[in-house]
Amino acid sequence: MKRKIGSQILASILVNSVYAMINYPVVLINTLLAPLAILAVVTFASKGALLPVAAVGALIMNMVSSGTSLQQDLSHLKNDMRLQDMIVSSPTTSLVYIVGMAISEIVYSIPTLAFLVILNVIFVKITLLGGLIIFLDMATIFTFSISLGFYLSTFTSDIIQSWGFSGILSPLLTTIPPVYYPITYIPYPYRYLAYLSPTTYASEIAQSQTGFFNPGVVGFSIAWIVLLAITGALTYLALKRSRWREN
Amino acid sequence: MRIQTSDLSKTYDKKYTALENLTLDLNLNGIFSIIGRNGAGKTTFVRIMSTELMPTSGSGFINEMDVVSQAIEVRQQIAVVPQEARPLPWLTPLQTVSSYLMWRGYSYREANEKGKEALRELGLEGKEREKSRKLSGGQKRKLMVATVISSEAPVVFLDEPTTGLDYLSRKELWQLLSKMKKDRLIILTTHYLEEAEILGDQIMILDSGKLVDIGKIDDLRAKVKLPYVLKVYSDNFKIEDNELQVHPVSEKETFVYGSATKIYGLMPYLVTNKMKFTVEEASLSSIFEQYVGGEEGENEKEDW
């Protein structure tokens, strides 16, 4: 029979987001609440001054959350439901499965993304080129988080371990690093620590377009190079080294 | 369908040998039952042959395709329900079957049509749109089996599909499998020897990762020392013979295992003493005990 890759991708999207949203709408509130909660706190604490930074930061958090959610979803489907074993033994490849699952996370985030994009359009003044750069920045950090999520999910043996990973990743990648606030707010030498997180580079790129941080051409280029290098390396690891078939 | 292995072995963490130099070559259709105690290597065999797990050494082939180097080609031909797999609770039965078929590459429409057909055959047509979490345990297992059986895969692996089900639910599943085994090979692992006996066109016995024997039930029976069982219903029956195995079941019921000559040699005594009796061929559980032996729990390991 002729197998349709589109159907294989659609299956992941339907199972992991569309059917879940239809059957359990409460999950939509959950995904919406996390980035908006920090956005609200930062906005109120800065008396509105940091709203544009936080609005872009919420977008970054949303992208990273897709990866942590993916890690939890994949781990649950693999360890608790044994679905991944059925998929491994089917004509679906790991790449097709992960692409479908990654898109499903985006579909899951559509209401949140729509809200955040509207917020950004209203409160963040950027050029068309700036918008395009932020879009590419988001796409890269999304690829990074999805790869990380997939990579970790193949190593988790149960859902408790998976929650542990998510619990660590979320603050380390979004809450503590300068995602919701400019990096200049961090005093030296702690600022160097912030550069351990790839989201700092993504955030610098986004903040440079909103006028909150000026890294200069060199800093801007370095941020892109580091972000792309980390994302590339992790994507390679996820595709090549993760345990699709167990040893 | 052809299943071959050559010195197939699997050792976990360089310590635990789950499968040891398994070599077999089978050309068959229908149901291939795999039995063995916990830790015998049943699940490991299924996981390697269904391309989920890498062997430590040796090779395995399905329809002459290597399960390691030709995994992509093998996966076009197989479908598996792993041990402990269950339907996702947020999906309806129709969504469960159709999404699996879509993962196999069917279009949305084809998958839905085939899904509805499978659920009809399963007797779940009224529950197509109910969430799977509301199904009974038996219905959930049947749904998982229907999910893979509804596909075009000619080789289907079912790892303990009836574990935990009550007798009637198991019987329903047996009927489904008997109906579905035409033109395909179903590789079934089970702890229920009665199930393996009823369903298995061929039976493989594994013990501590090694192949003990393989064949039709009659072939296996022919190889054991005690292939017949005499059931005597009398409180006066007493016998001592080293070549017979005597199991008093109750005060009025005794089972005697032995060869045809020995068992039929007892007939005159039973008839003279007007004792009620029946003679049957030894069941798979008796054959299994004779092959594997040992007390319950001895050598028992984690299920691999």
Is-contact B96 B142, C-beta < 8 A? no
Q: Is B204 helix (H, G, I), strand (E, B) or coil?
A: strand
Please say if the pLDDT value at position B302 is more than 60: no
Q: Which of A10, A13, A86, A157 best probes binding to B when mutated, by most B CB atoms within 10 angstroms?
A: A86
The per-residue pLDDT for range B208-251, each reduced to its tens digit, is 999 999 999 999 999 998 999 999 999 888 888 889 989 888 98
pLDDT at A148: 92
ipTM of the complex: 0.85
> What are the Cα distances from residue B203, in Å, to A156, A217, B144, B288?
35, 71, 23, 11
- For residue A8 the two structure tokens come to 């294989």
**Between chains, do B50 and A246 touch, taking CB under 8 Å as contact?**
no
In a domain, residue A245? The reply is no
pLDDT, average across residues B51-57: 96
Least confident of A117-121, B103-107, B230-234: A117-121
Is-contact B209 B20, C-beta < 8 A? yes
Identify the CA nearest to B71 among candidates A69, A199, A246, A237. A246
> What are the Cα distances from residue B265, in Å, to A229, B234, B236, B258, B259?
83, 18, 18, 10, 10
Q: To the nearest whole number, what is the mean pLDDT of chain B?
A: 91
Distance from the Cα of A102 to chain B's closest Cα (Å) equals 15
Q: Chain B residue closest to A83 (CA)?
A: B85
Q: How many CB pairs under 8 A join A and B?
A: 108
- Cβ density class B219-258: b for 16+ within 10 Å, e for less: ebbeebebbbbbebebeebeeeeeebbbeeeeeeebbbbb
Cα–Cα distance, B300 to B248 (Å, whole number)? 26
| Residue A154 CB coordination number (10 Å) | 19
In a domain, residue A146? The reply is yes
**Between chains, do A23 and B83 touch, taking CB under 8 Å as contact?**
no
Cα–Cα distance, A72 to B75 (Å, whole number)? 26
Q: Chain A residue closest to B13 (CA)?
A: A247
Domain of residue A78: give its range: 5-240
In a domain, residue A134? The reply is yes
Place of tokens 């990973």: A165
> What are the Cα distances from residue B23, in Å, to A102, B50, B114, B211, B224?
41, 17, 37, 8, 22
The sheet with strand B202-207 has its strands ordered as B78-81, B155-159, B185-189, B30-35, B202-207, B210-215
Cα–Cα distance, A226 to A200 (Å, whole number)? 10
In order of start, what are the domains of chain B with their CATH numbers? Answer: 2-87+135-217 (3.40.50.300), 225-281 (3.30.70.250)
Distance from the Cα of A173 to chain B's closest Cα (Å) equals 30
pLDDT at B296: 46
- Higher-confidence residue of A124 and B108: namely B108
**Between chains, do B103 and A3 touch, taking CB under 8 Å as contact?**
no
Please say if the pLDDT value at position A40 is more than 60: yes
In a domain, residue A246? The reply is no
Q: Which residues of B touch A87 (CB under 8 A)?
A: 103
Q: Which residues of A touch B99 (CB under 8 A)?
A: 11, 14-15, 19
Handedness of CA B213, B219, B225, B226 (dihedral sign): positive
pLDDT at B183: 83
Q: Which residues of A touch B85 (CB under 8 A)?
A: 81-83, 85-86
Q: Which residues of A touch B82 (CB under 8 A)?
A: 82, 85-86
**Between chains, do A89 and B91 touch, taking CB under 8 Å as contact?**
no
Q: Which residues contact B231 (CB under 8 A, 6 or more apart)?
A: B253, B254, B255, B256, B277, B278, B279, B280
pLDDT, average across residues B100-129: 90
Q: Chain A residue closest to B80 (CA)?
A: A86
pLDDT at B297: 45
The per-residue pLDDT for range A146-164, each reduced to its tens digit, is 999 988 888 887 878 888 8
Distance from the Cα of A31 to chain B's closest Cα (Å) equals 18
Crossing angle of the two packed helices A51-75 and A26-45, in degrees rounded to 10: 150
Q: Which residues of B touch A94 (CB under 8 A)?
A: none
Q: Which residues of A touch B78 (CB under 8 A)?
A: 89
**Between chains, do B82 and A19 touch, taking CB under 8 Å as contact?**
no
In a domain, residue A72? The reply is yes
In a domain, residue A17? The reply is yes
**Between chains, do B104 and A92 touch, taking CB under 8 Å as contact?**
yes
Residue B299: band (very low, low, confident or very high) from pLDDT cuts 50, 70, 90: very low
* Nearest CB to B50; choose among A14, A24, A89: A89
Distance from the Cα of A37 to chain B's closest Cα (Å) equals 28
pLDDT at A25: 83
pLDDT, average across residues A187-216: 92
Cis peptide before A91 (omega within 30 of 0): no
**Between chains, do B90 and A89 touch, taking CB under 8 Å as contact?**
no
Q: How many domains does chain A have?
A: 1
The per-residue pLDDT for range B249-282, each reduced to its tens digit, is 898 999 999 999 999 999 999 999 999 999 999 9
Is-contact B109 B94, C-beta < 8 A? no
Q: To the nearest whole number, what is the mean pLDDT of chain A?
A: 90
**Between chains, do A14 and B90 touch, taking CB under 8 Å as contact?**
no
pLDDT, average across residues B174-190: 91
Residue B287: band (very low, low, confident or very high) from pLDDT cuts 50, 70, 90: very high
Distance from the Cα of B28 to chain A's closest Cα (Å) equals 21
pLDDT at A104: 94
Please say if the pLDDT value at position B12 is more than 90: yes
Cα–Cα distance, B13 to B36 (Å, whole number)? 22
- Whether chain B has a CB inside 8 Å of the CB on A95: the answer is no
In a domain, residue A156? The reply is yes
In a domain, residue A195? The reply is yes
The per-residue pLDDT for range B126-179, each reduced to its tens digit, is 887 888 989 988 889 889 988 998 899 999 999 999 988 888 888 988 998 998
- Higher-confidence residue of A169 and B79: namely B79
Report the amino acid identity of residue A98.
Answer: I
